[in-house]
Amino acid sequence: MNNIFTNNIKKIEFDALIVGGGGSGMRASLELAKSGLKTAVVSKVFPTRSHTVSAQGGITCAIASADPNDDWRWHMYDTVKGADFIGDQDAIEYLCSEGPKAVFELEHMGLPFSRFENGRIYQRPFGGQSKDFGKGGQAARTCAAADRTGHALLHTLYQNNVKEGTNFLNEWFAVDLVKNSKDEVTGVIAFSIENGEVAYLKAQATVLATGGAGRIYASTTNALINTGDGLAMALRAGFPAQDMEMWQFHPTGIYGAGSLVTEGCRGEGGFLINKDGERFMERYAPNVKDLAGRDVVARSMVLEILEGRGCGENNDHIYLKLDHLGAEVLNSKLPGICELSRTFAHVDPVYEPIPVVPTCHYMMGGTPTNISGQAFSRINDQDYLIPGLFSAGEAACVSVHGANRLGGNSLLDLVVFGRATGKHIQSELKSGGGVESATKSDIDNSLERLNKLNESSNGFDPADVKKELQECMQNYFGVFRRGEFMQKGLDQLNELKEKVDNLHLKDKSDAFNTSRVEAIELQNLFEVAESTAVSAFKRTESRGAHARDDYPDRDDENWLCHTIYDPITKEVSKRGVNFEPNKVEAFPPKVRTY
Amino acid sequence: MFGNKLQVNLYRYNPEEDKFPYMKKYVIEKPKRDIMILDLLHLLKEEDQSISYRRSCREGVCGSDGMNINGKNGLACITPISSVVKRNKIELRPLPGLPVIRDLVVDMTEFYAQYEKIKPFLQNETTAPEQERLQSPEERDKLDGLYECILCACCSTSCPSFWWNPDKFVGPAALLQAYRFLADSRDLKTEERLEALSDPFSVYRCHGIMNCVNVCPKGLNPNKAIGEIKSMLHKNKKDIIVTDGV
């Protein structure tokens, strides 16, 4: 892959192009493929290798199976509260009210949900769930396929895309967006990982469905491929990111390995203990204990460890106790967890507790979109829709998760908004919408980064730089944050910027060159990390997953708002939260306790 | 002789540089704790950027990193070194029987083609109810041990029948999925599915060698599923004869 010029690359045209073959991407593509529009999914891995496959516990939705009186408004209340009141209420309303339709569709497609005796879909309790707007006790609202719900969901979506004849460009890597002179998005530059062929994938609608970027941290539950490629492409194109300081640390990542242990373990009756065997969540969340919001549980665990009550030789982790549930429950309801703990923690949960520690899990922020998946930028403090650009799933910030996502809401998010995005694009394109073509120099701009890497004859080693970046984020932007430490982190990121811009790609070959992929992924991680750091430093309060030692309280007067990070000026501005749902009264902010 | 060292023999092939594939020897300090084969590959790649392999979830659920480890197919990310090392040596090769793109990366086109051939999606053209289709826990239990397949290809690429007829024999992975839909109470195309498998190759090239069961990293049993399909085919055939007789 020598210097590449626009004149000698192939152009492939589509109506709609989905970047990313995970849950949201394949839900969008399914909608579009059925409509007859020429649709393609470009994915850097074979679609069933996408990170949706790792989701375990389930998809939260008021389908009224465990409780025939369940109500989507209760789910909405929980989600608004879980988000610590900066989730947009119009979007949350859409998520919760459309959810049942989207879940039943998945079942009709063949998703092998677990079942209750009456034949309906099995639902289990998850954290932050309540009946009757918090007044009716714990709800069981998370629809599950054992503890392999993500796997079942992703494979079902892939299977149905095969059925509908979706075009897949598998193991193609999207490098950068192509913009025309009017700042409209007209597709992406991508290359085939298999043979290095570079192409301009032109589309009337480009959907970023590239998932999260948990790999900005040294310790994460995320797959190695979660490098925020789509969000980084949008940032490089000058488009903003929203709420990037909001990263969820999952309470139960396996100590040392980082693999996820589903919240469903606690939903089924498991609980956390410290080194004295004390069920400490009774002190922090007296009502719902281990099923408080993830941010609350994660912070409680870190406090236990900091106060010397952690488990193990170094008092640096917590135990998740499951043995009292018995072998039968564990093997039928949580078989995947038993397998994972035997492999990665060398313990059998039937007999021993699992060593766990809060681990980076989910990016609540992302490319801001409306409920139709249309991405927008901010001009003069107004939302301005970006023609041709869409986003859905973890890559997007619609924002239904606000400052803290509830367990089981990510799978619902990706099917509901993947579907909505597909539907919107279909109606937009069928009514004649679209974008103007890009010129040669527009395309040249998007080839710049790839060419620079291919020409590098010296510079920094990507593997070293990646480690530095991940350590920096882990040290200064973790579960607890403080201004002075974050300043150190920002300084270090400034130094890293120089290195990230001058990576040395030693291997220039074309055939399945994973070094090239990893170098570009590192640059993507940096974009996401920088936006996270700047936004976190700016928000001088504690809310949801963003907990600051130096500003321990929530500050509704100043910060009941989204943050918008501008990648060009590297400044953060505020954007109002939507408090105008259509079918119900808005839920006003109140003190958040569990 | 290799007290503190670990010798890794790695299959190398870069089509742009190498006429033929070859085994390259890497000698590294033995890791202090037991790590997975995938971690070992990361260590090697830090030293030699040109090594190529697939990986994603690193916890055994995505199926990217199937490879041949000391002669047996498995997933690199959930195979601890200690479970495979022999006299301080580990040999890593690509999955056998498929064309090699580079190093440990194989071309899985034929494998996926067989998967698509069995129509791996629920077929039920009756009008869907407003809610979910009902399924009893007992009916749902029949899908356990089938739907969990991660398409890593460890089984099919360890199967001599698949090596011999990768275009005609569906192979254990796709047959497991064929049975997953045959066993689903919600799927209504049983006859058509069986008909499509009734030729001498699709199913009947399975001779019960059992390599598939031996290597499946998820502990699944394609051989059993194939047996079920065979008995359904058998039963189906008899039914047809009886009907013909009438």
The per-residue pLDDT for range A560-570, each reduced to its tens digit, is 999 999 999 99
- Whether A224 sits inside 8 A of B57 (CB atoms) is yes
Name the residue with tokens 């006790």: A137
Residue B245 has pLDDT above 60, yes or no: no
Q: Which of A73, A141, A236, A294 is catalytic?
A: A294
- Confidence band (pLDDT; 50, 70, 90) for A376? very high
Q: Which of A50, A117, A511 sits opposite B15 (nearest CB)?
A: A511
Mean pLDDT confidence for A100-108: 98
Residue of B52, B121, B132 with shortest CB distance to A512: B52
Cβ distance A42 to A172 under 8 Å? yes
State the smallest CA–CA distance between residue A486 and chain B in angstroms: 29
Q: Is A339–B112 a contact, with Cβ atoms under 8 angstroms apart?
A: no
- Residue appearing with tokens 């932050």: A128
Kindly report, residue by residue over A148-170, the tens digit of the pLDDT.
999 999 999 999 999 999 999 99
Judging contacts by C-beta atoms under 8 Å, the chain A residues touching residue B134 are: 118-120
pLDDT tens digits for range A249-297: 999 999 999 999 999 999 999 999 999 999 999 999 999 999 999 999 9
Q: Which residues of A144-221 form beta strands (DSSP E)?
A: 167-170, 172-179, 185-192, 198-208
- Spatial contact of A225 and A45, defined as CB atoms under 8 Å apart: yes
Work out the average pLDDT over A332-345: 94
Residues of B in contact with A154 (CB under 8 A): none
Chain A residues lying within 8 Å of B122, measured CB to CB: 108-110, 159
**Mutation target vs A (from B35, B78, B132, B184; most A CBs, 10 A cutoff):** B132
Please report the pLDDT score of residue B4 as a whole number.
Answer: 87
**How many helices (DSSP H) and strands (DSSP E) are in chain B?**
9, 7
CA closest to A120 among chain B residues? B134
Kindly determine whether residue A46 and residue B132, on different chains, have CB atoms separated by under 8 Å.
no
pLDDT value of position A445 = 86
pLDDT digits (tens, 9 = 90+) for A527-548: 999 999 999 999 999 999 999 9
- Whether A63 sits inside 8 A of B150 (CB atoms) is no
Helical segments of A87-190, H only: 89-109, 149-164
CB-based contacts of A314, cutoff 8 Å, min separation 6: none
Question: B16 and A46: CB-CB below 8 Å?
Answer: no
- What six digits make up the tokens of B32? 């202090």
The two three-digit tokens of residue A317, written as one number: 């982790």
Contact criterion met (CB < 8 Å) for B121 and A51: no
Continuous segment of H or E residues that includes residue A487: helix A483-501
Burial class (CB in 10 A: 0-12, 13-18, 19+), B184: buried
Residue in A110, A112, A343 closest to B78 by CB: A343
What residues pair up with A172 in beta bridges, in sequence order?
A192
Q: What percentage of chain A exceeds 70 in pLDDT?
A: 99
Q: Looking up tokens 């009186």, which residue turns up?
A: A69
Question: What is the pLDDT averaged over residues A203-230?
Answer: 97
Shortest alpha-carbon distance between residue B83 and chain A (Å):
12
How far apart (Å, rounded) are the C-alpha atoms in residues A164 and B49? 39
DSSP reduced 3-state for A214:
helix
Rounded CA-CA distance A222/A233 in Å is 20
Task: Write out pLDDT tens, residues B194-223.
Answer: 999 999 999 999 999 999 999 999 999 999
| Cα A60 to Cα A78, A127, A209, A246, A277, distances in angstroms | 11, 11, 20, 21, 31
- Facing residue for B46 by CB, picked from A103, A117, A463: A463
- Torsion-angle region of residue A72: left (phi > 0), alpha (psi -120 to 50) or beta? alpha
Q: What is the pLDDT of residues B14-48, one digit of tens each?
A: 999 999 999 999 999 998 889 999 999 999 999 99
**What's the CA gap between A375 and A356, in Å, rounded?**
37
Q: Using the predicted structure, report yes or no on whether residue B246 has a pLDDT greater than 60.
A: no
* Cross-chain CB nearest to A512 (options B105, B124, B137): B105
CA distance B210 to chain A (A): 23
Helix/strand/coil for A19:
strand
Largest CA distance in chain A: 69
How many CB atoms neighbour CB B111 within 10 A? Answer: 22
Q: Determine the distance in angstroms separating the CA of A101 from the nearest CA of chain B, rounded to an integer.
A: 8
DSSP-based three-state secondary structure for A421: helix
Instruction: State the nearest Cα–Cα gap between B243 and chain A, in angstroms.
Output: 32
Q: What's the pLDDT at B32?
A: 86
**Contacts for B126-134: CB closer than 8 Å, 24+ residues apart:** B126/B188, B128/A104, B128/A108, B130/A104, B131/A63, B131/A104, B131/A120, B132/A63, B132/A65, B132/A103, B132/A104, B132/A107, B132/A108, B132/A113, B132/A120, B132/A121, B133/A107, B133/A108, B133/B186, B134/A118, B134/A119, B134/A120
Per-residue exposure over A303-326, b if at least 16 CB sit within 10 Å of its own CB, e if not: ebbeeebbbeeeeebbbbbbbebe
Contact A27, A157 (CB under 8 A): yes
Of the pLDDT bands very low, low, confident and very high (cuts 50, 70, 90), residue A2 is: low
Q: Look at B120 and A53 and tell me if their CB atoms are within 8 Å.
A: no
Q: Is A573 helix (H, G, I), strand (E, B) or coil?
A: strand
Asked whether the predicted pLDDT for residue B238 surpasses 90, the reply is no
Quick check: A513 pLDDT over 80? yes
Whether the Cβ atoms of residue A546 and residue A561 lie closer than 8 Å to each other: no
pTM of the entire structure? 0.96
Q: What is the dihedral of CA B205, B210, B212, B218, to 10 degrees?
A: 140
pLDDT at A363 over 50: yes
Gap between the Cα atoms of B62 and B42, Å rounded: 18
Q: What are the respective helix, strand and coil percentages of chain B, to the nearest 5?
A: 35, 15, 50
Is residue A158 a contact partner of residue A168, using CB atoms and an 8 Å limit? no
pLDDT at B244 over 60: no
pLDDT at B243: 44
| Cα–Cα–Cα angle for A193, A196, A197, rounded to 5 degrees | 115
Based on the residue annotation, tell me whether A342 is a catalytic residue of this protein: no
Whether B56 and A223 lie within 8 Å, measured CB to CB: yes
- d(CA B240, CA B246) in angstroms, rounded, equals 10
The CA-atom distances, in angstroms, between A554 and each of A84, A176, A541, A560 are 9, 38, 5, 9
Per-residue pLDDT averaged across B1-22, rounded?
90
**Dist CA B140 CA B117 (whole Å):** 24
DSSP helix/strand/coil, A510:
coil
Contact B46, B32 (CB under 8 A): no
| Residues on chain A touching B103 (C-beta within 8 angstroms) | 512
**The two structure tokens encoding residue A514:** 């994973």
Nearest-CA distance A211 → chain B (Å)? 13
Q: What is the pLDDT of residues A450-493, one digit of tens each?
A: 999 999 999 999 999 999 999 999 999 999 999 999 999 999 99
Which pLDDT does position B242 carry in this prediction? 45
Sign for the pseudo-dihedral over CA of A397, A15, B120, B57: negative
Enumerate the β-bridge partners of residue B178.
none
In A227-329, the DSSP E strands lie at 241-242, 247-254, 271-273, 318-321
Tell me chain B's radius of gyration from C-alpha atoms. Answer: 21
Note the pLDDT of residue B239.
Answer: 55
Q: Is A258 left (phi over 0), alpha (psi -120 to 50) or beta?
A: left
Q: What whole-number distance in Å separates Cα of residue A375 and Cα of residue A389?
A: 6
pLDDT surpasses 90 at B1: no
- CB-nearest partner of A49 from B16, B64, B186: B64
Sign of CA dihedral A472, A477, A482, A483: positive
Lowest mean pLDDT among A367-376, A583-592, B228-237: B228-237
Question: Rounded to whole angstroms, what are the CA distances from A154 to A50, A149, B61, B62?
Answer: 8, 8, 12, 10
* Chain B residue with Cα closest to A121: B132
Exposed/middle/buried for residue B53 (C-beta within 10 Å: 0-12, 13-18, 19+): buried
- Exposure string over A470-509, b if 16+ CB within 10 A, otherwise e: bebbbebbbbbbeeebbeebbebbeebeebbeebbbbebb
Contacting residues of A for B66, CB less than 8 Å apart: none
Instruction: Give backbone dihedrals phi and psi of A504, rounded to 5 degrees, phi first.
Output: -105, 115
Contacting residues of B for A453, CB less than 8 Å apart: none
Residues contacting B145, CB < 8 A, separation 6+: B220, B221, B224
Interface A-B, measured as beta-carbon pairs within 8 A, has a size of 146
Q: Which residues contact A356 (CB under 8 A, 6 or more apart)?
A: A251, A252, A253, A254, A255, A261, A272, A317, A318, A319, A320
